[in-house]
A and B are shown apart, each in its own frame.
Chain A
Amino acid sequence: MVERQSPLEPEYYPGSHGNFEHGVDVILSETRPGSILQLAAWPGEEKRLMSAIYKATGLALPDGAGGGVTDGARSAFGFAPGKFTVVDEAEGLAAAFSGVVTPAIGTVTDLSHGRTAMRIAGPKAEWVLAKFFAIDFALPAFPIGAGRSTTHHDVFAQIQRTGADQFDIYVFRSFARSFWKALCHASEEVGYEVQ
């Protein structure tokens, strides 16, 4: 495989930044998953696609809009009716779906090189994200594993909650550096660490 370059690299400064004298309240990182796939079911085929995801990844998606699940290495969540994002730390996940998601069920699109994944974690993660997106980040409204699709200005973002105070954000690669810089600026007031 070709070695993938991070679009964040010129603006990626590991270490503590901003107002961190009283502690670091969010940790920002790029998760660099090997595979980011988008799966879409034809109308009426949603259940079969969800069982195909289970067959290929072992992730059992819950019913309902925006439902998702994560096991650390692999994550999946619904982001639109009948559409799911499936992520794996390892490369080559698309191959695991060939033969499982048949043309009668739906489609698999490999976006591994088209999206950049960032993680924001820490006690102020909800606070910082609430400055970007007009959605409810409270745990009861946005449970662990669940996904949301929304926009920050015109930057489309898919967000999955992967922990009580941890979110993974998927943005277009071409917008990623700009979004990353905005995320760093927004985190300055609470003190942030880039890992």
Chain B
Amino acid sequence: MLITCPYCGPRDVIEFTYQGDGNRQRPQPSSQDLDAWNAYVYDRLNPAGDHNEIWQHSGGCRAHLRVVRNTLTHEISSSGFARGDHKAAARHKSEAKS
């Protein structure tokens, strides 16, 4: 499985660390809404298909990435910086979109 890092280009999955479901919405730290916290901690879509995920390129540029991975085929349909403010530095922009 190859993940295209927007900074480093296509790299083997061994360089990356899974950082969890990218669909989670963290409540405000001061939130008292227990349902929202419960959903943040436990509720997962678990789709058979495209899944939004957060990965870190821990064995490379160490950037956090927003990746769409197909859970059936492991196909990566998109990847980009999780923070999304380094677009100018992206060398593999076109590949990242493919």
Contacts and interface: CB of A to CB of B under 8 A. Distances in A.
B83 to A, nearest CB: 7
A117 to B, nearest CB: 19
B1 to A, nearest CB: 12
B93 to A, nearest CB: 10
A44 interface: yes
- At the interface, is chain B mostly helix, strand, loop or mixed? loop
Contacts of A151: 14-15, 59-60
Interface of B: 6-9, 11-12, 14-15, 59-63, 81, 83, 85-86, 88-92
A64 B86 CA distance: 11
Given A81-B81, A82-B86, A66 B11 contact: no
Contacts, number: 57
A154 B59 CA distance: 8
A138 to B, nearest CB: 13
B16 to A, nearest CB: 11
A156 interface: yes
A148 interface: yes
A46 B63 CA distance: 15
B15 A150 contact: yes
Interface string A49-91: 0000000000000011110000000000011111100000000
Contacts of B88: 46, 63
